[in-house]
Chains A and B, each alone.
Chain A
Amino acid sequence: MAAPRKPFEPASPEQVAFLETAVEQYGKATYNYALRLTHNEADARDLTQEAFIRVYRAWRSFKPGTSFLSWIYRIVTNLYRDELRRRKGRYQEEIPEDNEPQAYGTGRPLAVTPIDEYVEGQLSEPVSKALEALSPDQRQIVVLADIEECSYQEIAEIVGCSIGTVRSRLHRARGQLKKLVTRNMKSSP
Chain B
Amino acid sequence: MNTNEHPTLEQLNDYVHGELPEQQDAAIHAHLSGCAPCAEAHETEVRIGEVLREHARAEERELPLGFAQRIVDAAVASESHREPWWEAFTRVLRPAIAVPAIVALALIVYLAVAGSKQGAAVQSATIDAAAYLDNHAALATDMPFSETAMEPTAFASASSDGNDR
Contacts and interface: CB of A to CB of B under 8 A. Distances in A.
B8 A56 contact: no
SS class of chain B's interface: helix, strand, loop or mixed?
A: helix
Contacts of B41: 104-105, 110
B71 interface: yes
A16 B77 CA distance: 11
Contacts of B74: 49, 53
Interface stretch (B50-58, B107-115, B139-147, B153-161): B50-58
A152 B19 contact: yes
Contacts of B58: 124
Given A104-B8, A116-B44, A7 B64 contact: no
Interface stretch (A63-71, A77-85, A139-147): A139-147
Interface of A: 7-8, 10-11, 16, 19-20, 23-24, 27-28, 31-32, 35-36, 41, 45, 48-49, 52-53, 55-57, 101-110, 112-113, 115-116, 118, 120, 123-124, 127-128, 131, 142-143, 145-147, 149, 151-152, 167-168, 170-171, 174-175, 177-178
Interface of B: 6-11, 13-14, 17-19, 35, 37-38, 40-41, 43-45, 47-49, 51-56, 58-64, 67-68, 70-72, 74-76, 78-80, 82, 84-86
Given A32-B56, A131-B55, 4 more contacts: A112-B40, A123-B51, A151-B17, A178-B44
11 contacts: A11-B80, A41-B64, A56-B75, A102-B9, A105-B8, A107-B6, A110-B40, A112-B40, A147-B53, A171-B9, A174-B45
